[in-house]
A and B are shown apart, each in its own frame.
Chain A
Amino acid sequence: MTLVSSRRSRVVIRAAAVLAAAVHPLALVAQDPDPLSRLDPNTRFVVEVIIDSARVAGVPTRPLLLKALQGAAYHADNKHIIAAVRSVFHAELDVRVALGSALNESEWASAVSALQSGVPLEALAKFRGERSGKPLTRALVVLTDLIQRGVPVSEASSAIMQLWQRGAGDGDFYGLWKNVEQDILSGQNPGTALEQRMREIPVRVTPGTKIPPASQEPNNSSS
């Protein structure tokens, strides 16, 4: 009896330990069952309408929810929150036009960020033709950051597209970003920094890839 009890106790303890290991990390961020309750009722109503519209349109709804929660976290006023959520929704509709619907969650998010940072729709659309199953996320994140740091939109778009067409991988994009960031922080002109760092990246042409001359790259200015 004692042996059975002891064995059972050990099983219980092990089960608790396993459960502890499984539950603990995930439990660090408890999910709010009704996160929109952080908004005031009027704002919530409008945000829910926009989310419904997104659902009907077939574009992701979670980024809209997150944008509203972000606004609430920063104590933004209601008009500001609604405008921001609406802006994300419109950007998603534009992304679908530019890149289609076959995007994963990260690609949606990075494409929306790129558009909202000033990348023209036409420049974004060029990634669709050259995609061939490669993930877009890192390229678009770096493009967004370069524009944010002051690289002219046309130069940044052109450079990232060139790399993309050369078959650059995530490491190439990250390396380019890291180097340009350091150059800019040390006082170099953002556009010049990008131009110089681009020359250092080796060309890795994948079979069948057509490399257009640089002059044919998108040259849209920020509008």
Chain B
Amino acid sequence: MTEPKAAIVALTFVLLAPQGALAQIASKVEAGTIMTQQDGEVPASIFSVAPGIRFDLPYLALAAHGSAWLTGQQWQIADGTLSGSLLTPTVSHFRGELIGNASRAFFDRSLENDQVDGQARLHMLFAQRGGIWVGGGVARPWRIAVVSSVDVTGGGAWTRVGDAMLSGTYTNFFFTKVAATRDSSGTTQSCGTRNEPLSLASGSGSSLSSSSTSSATTDCRRQSRFSDIEGSVNWAYGWFELTGQAGYRFGDSYDVTPDSRRWAAGTAVLWITSRVAAVMGGGRVPANPSRGLPARNYANFGLMLSYSSIPRTTVPVAPRTLAAVKDFEVRPLATGTQKITVRVGGVETVEVMGDFSDWTPLVLMRRGRDLWDITLPVTTGVHEINLRLDGGPWLAPPGLPTRRDSFSGDVGLLVVP
């Protein structure tokens, strides 16, 4: 009975595929050596394998990624993250986004934790060439000694200059830690000068001190905050991509350790083929209190096997013009079926629409660094077709005859023999 069931499952998948076909599945695997050094500790070198997969629909993106380290003779799962974002359509330059993440980190026995977080953002887009966003959310870490919850608020701006994407963000973190004054042996400890005592009897912060067991002061609440300002640039030129970021952390000296005041890092990607790249990077990352991770320096070198190379940025759209399209090709696969192939780098979505789709946009699937394709039923004859990159304007594909159109300016004329 297993095989018929498998057939039914396969058939169900096939029948459900039309909806999935409008989506894009991207995956990549990075493998290489990471060298890290935390202040005061001996540098460590590990071999890391980091797979990732992303599933994009026009208004929904789901992603999962993780990494495993080879330490000594043993493999160790280092971290894993599931994330999703929901985007609204753009209405009068505004677009909403809901983001959720669930992650687990296990770097060593002292740095093991889970976290769920959610954020809402409001994006404002300026003629598809730049934009700003504001947003806020909350993160809930577990098994972190120093944080109970984190409120996050912030904003950012982005713009595209030539082949480069520039962005800047300002993020404010507000940490709350509620801890019992009794340790496991029952010994009561004072809250200290920077912590606020909580008491059920006084009613102060009662909702936070639900673990209290007596009317006396049993919990301490400590609050701290700092703000990060960070700028980043992503530049792609031919087979070379460069990503860099630098930041500064504001906050008093008790909340911000000196090694996390400022940081900078960069990654260079050199594509050897359309799907294989050499990756080199290094720099300094600041401490992440919500994950219990200290500041550290790192350097990495490895290979990336990829169906998707370009990191998803913090912006919802980053449109390019059709001048970026290196090649547009339509060739027959079988009777009545055509494969449309587009070569364009530095974009996150490529869509076509035309009379063959009843003027419904269809998302091409990414097949490599700059390779996108879709297979469509297109009958012989002349068809009107337009192409769009990253949600920008619809334009006639390069390499096709065109005609002036009353709606879109130009429309491509595809003749299928």
Report if B18 contacts A (CB, 8 A): yes
Would you give the 0/1 interface string for B21-59, flagging 1 where the beta carbon is closer than 8 Å to chain A? Answer: 100000000000000000000000000000000000000
Prevailing SS type, chain A contact patch: helix
Report if A41 contacts B (CB, 8 A): no
Give the contact-size bracket for chain B.
35 or more
Count, A-B residue pairs, CB within 8 A: 134
Give the residue name and chain of the A residue nearest to B414 (CB): A141
Chain B residues with Cβ below 8 Å from A5 are: 1
- In order of increasing CB-CB distance, the 9 nearest A-B pairs are A106-B381, A145-B401, A9-B3, A73-B359, A16-B7, A74-B407, A20-B14, A69-B359, A27-B18
> Least Cβ distance of B402 to chain A in Å?
5
The answer to whether B382 touches A28, judged by C-beta atoms less than 8 angstroms apart, is: no
The answer to whether B403 touches A87, judged by C-beta atoms less than 8 angstroms apart, is: no
Report if B6 contacts A (CB, 8 A): yes
Between B1, B401, B413, B415, the greatest number of chain A beta carbons within 10 A of the residue's beta carbon is seen for B401
Q: Could you tell me how many residues of chain A have their Cβ less than 8 Å away from some Cβ of chain B?
A: 52
For A73, give its contact among B353, B381, B410, B417 (CB under 8 Å): B353
> Least Cβ distance of B384 to chain A in Å?
7
Chain B residues with Cβ below 8 Å from A203 are: none
The answer to whether B415 touches A138, judged by C-beta atoms less than 8 angstroms apart, is: yes
For B413, give its contact among A25, A70, A105, A113 (CB under 8 Å): A113
Report if B360 contacts A (CB, 8 A): yes
Chain B residues with Cβ below 8 Å from A80 are: 406-407
The answer to whether A110 touches B11, judged by C-beta atoms less than 8 angstroms apart, is: no
The answer to whether B14 touches A29, judged by C-beta atoms less than 8 angstroms apart, is: no
Known: A25-B334, A170-B417. 13 other contacts (CB 8 A): A6-B3, A15-B7, A20-B10, A25-B375, A25-B377, A27-B17, A70-B355, A70-B407, A71-B407, A73-B407, A141-B382, A142-B401, A144-B413
Chain A residues with Cβ below 8 Å from B407 are: 70-71, 73-74, 76, 80, 84
The answer to whether B14 touches A141, judged by C-beta atoms less than 8 angstroms apart, is: no
The answer to whether A106 touches B382, judged by C-beta atoms less than 8 angstroms apart, is: yes
A116 in contact with B14 given A27-B21, A28-B377 (CB within 8 Å): no
The answer to whether B376 touches A28, judged by C-beta atoms less than 8 angstroms apart, is: yes
CA distance A84 to B374 in the complex (A): 29
In chain B, positions 193-210 with a C-beta closer than 8 Å to chain A are none
CA distance A179 to B353 in the complex (A): 27
The segment from A30-38, A42-50, A160-168, A193-201 that touches chain B is A30-38
Report if B213 contacts A (CB, 8 A): no
Report if A17 contacts B (CB, 8 A): yes
Report if A148 contacts B (CB, 8 A): yes
For B14, give its contact among A24, A138, A144 (CB under 8 Å): A24
Binding site for A on B (CB under 8 A): 1, 3-4, 6-8, 10-11, 14-15, 17-18, 21, 333-334, 336-337, 353, 355-362, 374-377, 380-382, 384, 394, 401-408, 410, 413, 415, 417
CA distance A84 to B359 in the complex (A): 15
CA distance A24 to B360 in the complex (A): 18
A141 in contact with B415 given A28-B362, A76-B407 (CB within 8 Å): yes
For B4, give its contact among A12, A19, A138 (CB under 8 Å): A12
A19 in contact with B14 given A25-B337, A109-B381, A148-B410 (CB within 8 Å): yes
For A28, give its contact among B8, B21, B361, B405 (CB under 8 Å): B21
Give the residue name and chain of the A residue nearest to B377 (CB): A26
Task: Show 21 A/B contacts (Cβ-Cβ < 8 Å), sorted by A.
Answer: A12-B3, A16-B14, A19-B11, A20-B14, A25-B333, A27-B15, A28-B362, A32-B360, A66-B384, A74-B407, A87-B406, A106-B382, A109-B382, A141-B401, A141-B413, A141-B415, A142-B401, A144-B401, A145-B401, A145-B402, A170-B417
Report if A117 contacts B (CB, 8 A): yes
Report if A72 contacts B (CB, 8 A): yes
CA distance A160 to B357 in the complex (A): 31
A13 in contact with B358 given A80-B407, A145-B402 (CB within 8 Å): no
CA distance A212 to B417 in the complex (A): 30
Chain A residues with Cβ below 8 Å from B394 are: 74
The answer to whether A104 touches B381, judged by C-beta atoms less than 8 angstroms apart, is: yes
> Least Cβ distance of A153 to chain B in Å?
13
Chain B residues with Cβ below 8 Å from A104 are: 381
A105 in contact with B381 given A16-B7, A145-B402 (CB within 8 Å): yes
CA distance A127 to B4 in the complex (A): 59
> Least Cβ distance of A33 to chain B in Å?
11
Chain A residues with Cβ below 8 Å from B359 are: 66, 69-70, 72-73
